[in-house]
Structure 1
Amino acid sequence: MNSHAQNGVTPHGFPVLEPAFVFIHGFLDGAATWDATVAALGERADDALCVDLPGMGNRVDDDGPYSLDRFAEDVVKRVGALRRPVILVGHSMGAQVAELAANALGSQVCALALLTPVPLRGTGLPDEVMQSFHALGGNPAAQRELRRQLSVRLDDDRLEEIARIGDRVKAANAGVFADIWNRGHPLGAQPTRYNGPVLIVRGEDDAFVNAEMISSSVAPHFSHPETVVVERAGHWPHVEQPASVATILGAFMATVDQSVKAGVAGQGWTRAFEQKSADTFGDSFAADVVLEATVLAMPVSGADPHEE
């Protein structure tokens, strides 16, 4: 074992602690959208940090100007104060923020998990399409309709729960935030600067961040990402299928935990795969999860609940 790890400190100066989850929400959402996933993770997420970005969630009164850089700087400040290793989990626009924060935080970030991620370079949608996103500001009915269209298993209660978060965002800011994720960040035009483990989670029926966007604009940005598909989920898998997402994150974190304790963060994800058969790894997932791993020779599906 690495001598630093034996002394209770990683090679990068952080105590040998299990990484904490840091959750970063997406467009018009807030920290509360992670509540069901955090609850499903149980004790492993007792110390999780769920971030409200400026202008959203419980910080709707935080004034602009807003940008991906400002959002990332906000996350960096909060995570840096933790003085412990973390796994950054970003949803949609929050995935853009998570990657930028990971670049700045360096070795404190043990892994990056991106849920239905908007590419860091942005989506580049034309103005006529973006007008519909601008129109969401101050229009609760339109926001709810958009969430219905892009989700699969948002019942009325869960839809209303997350919609009320979006209702609080100032009307003028909805278009600002939409333009931010659509235009993306200049760093998205080149391979990522983050060299740790990356997990990409997409909803099988997400009509926005679909399989083509992941394969063409997200996955190629990273060196060896793993892609997991949550069946019967749309753009908010952590709200639609929180138990499945918690299972995915728990399995991901277990491999990261091992590497952190061994003092080899950044390589542990690959090594963990080398030590597991496809069947063993697949058994750790729920039945409605499919692993599309770029470094595996064949796809891995979740455990069959009917098998003994």
Structure 2
Amino acid sequence: MERMEFAGAGVTIVADAAGAADAPLVLFLHGGGQTRQSWGKALEVAAERGYRAVSLDLRGHGESGWSDDGAYSMPRFADDVRNVIAALGRPPVIVGASLGGLIGILIASVPSPEVRGLVLVDVAVRLETEGTREIGAFMQSAPDGFASLDDAADAVSAYLPHRTRPKDTSGLMRNLRLRENGRLHWHWDPAFTRYNPETAKLTANIFAQAAASLTVPVLLIRGGRSRVLSAEGVAEFRELVPHAEYVDVAGADHMVAGDANDSFNDAVLGFLAQHAHAAQ
């Protein structure tokens, strides 16, 4: 795995990359509160199948820079990713989960598209309020951090009860930072978790318009147990984007790649085989 750095729109964007540098490009964008390491083995599998796979830490997440003014707007995220695409030198297929998928919709909807295709992972225009509130509540639940890795693991287990709590919790350090107070804190900028209902309502309208203008190939993947993207939300999206393909991953929750990595990889690789091999 190769570590890379890019100049975003005023912040440094950190990424991992795998696969031949001149292979068809796949760009992975994680969800809010996640990092570039949230994709399980997807990068390795994509590289093995002949793709150049790149996974970013979005601004305010992981090792990437934080916004100096504490502002995290969708246009800023999109501008960061556009800078990365320009630096990579050719249009990718974007695979975006949750927040990353919304960023992908904005980028892919602008003529002429800067991407070859778009995979949306458990995200569409309509999202369920209860599910999104659960995510927000988790992200705001430990403002003072944790005394130990076990405490952090307990918090994750309470939030994701369907997953088996790992006996070895050391892997969580990839998602935590030791701050000056001597406690472990999640890897995101706390300013990212601020929620403005009016801004959210306006943003939903913008995404509906953007989705309706998509012309690139699109695959929508839903976790069958998701409380964020409902069957109704899927139906509404498919009306807006009639050409979109659709896969339901039974047994997976919102974080589909982590819950059902093999099924997720099969769906993504099938889509890439159709749409990622156009002339570079």
TM-score by length of 1: 0.65
Aligned match for 2:193, one of 174, 195, 216: 174
How far residue 87 of structure 1 moved from its aligned partner, in angstroms, is 0.3
Aligned match for 2:156, one of 115, 128, 144: 144
Aligned to 1:8: none
Identity of aligned residues (%): 24
1:215-235 deviations in Å (ceiling 9; x for gaps): 23x333313111101122111
- Taking the aligned partners of 1:118 and 1:207, their CA distance within structure 2 comes to 13
Aligned match for 2:45, one of 40, 47, 54: 40
Contact kept, 8 Å, 1:202 with 1:228, in 2: the verdict is: yes
Q: Counterpart of 1:81 in 2: which secondary structure?
A: helix
Q: CA RMSD in A?
A: 3.6
- Taking the aligned partners of 1:44 and 1:169, their CA distance within structure 2 comes to 32
Q: Counterpart of 1:252 in 2: which secondary structure?
A: helix
How far residue 34 of structure 1 moved from its aligned partner, in angstroms, is 1.8
How far residue 179 of structure 1 moved from its aligned partner, in angstroms, is 8.7
> Whose strand fraction is larger, Structure 1's or Structure 2's?
2
Contact kept, 8 Å, 1:22 with 1:89, in 2: the verdict is: yes
Distance 1:56 1:154, change over 3 A: farther
Task: Supply the AA of the counterpart residue of 1:228.
Answer: V
Question: Which ranges in structure 2 are unaligned for 5 or more consecutive residues?
Answer: 1-21, 147-151, 177-185
How far residue 83 of structure 1 moved from its aligned partner, in angstroms, is 1.9
Task: Supply the AA of the counterpart residue of 1:86.
Answer: P
Distance 1:147 1:209, change over 3 A: farther
Task: Supply the AA of the counterpart residue of 1:243.
Answer: D
Contact kept, 8 Å, 1:25 with 1:92, in 2: the verdict is: yes
- Give the number of the structure whose alpha-carbon radius of gyration is greater: 1
Aligned to 2:115: 109
Distance 1:130 1:25, change over 3 A: closer
Task: Supply the AA of the counterpart residue of 1:144.
Answer: V
Aligned to 2:232: 212
> Whose helix fraction is larger, Structure 1's or Structure 2's?
1
Aligned to 2:74: 68
Q: Counterpart of 1:59 in 2: which secondary structure?
A: coil
- Taking the aligned partners of 1:211 and 1:159, their CA distance within structure 2 comes to 34
How far residue 137 of structure 1 moved from its aligned partner, in angstroms, is 5.3
- Taking the aligned partners of 2:120 and 2:133, their CA distance within structure 1 comes to 28
Q: Counterpart of 2:72 in 1: which secondary structure?
A: coil
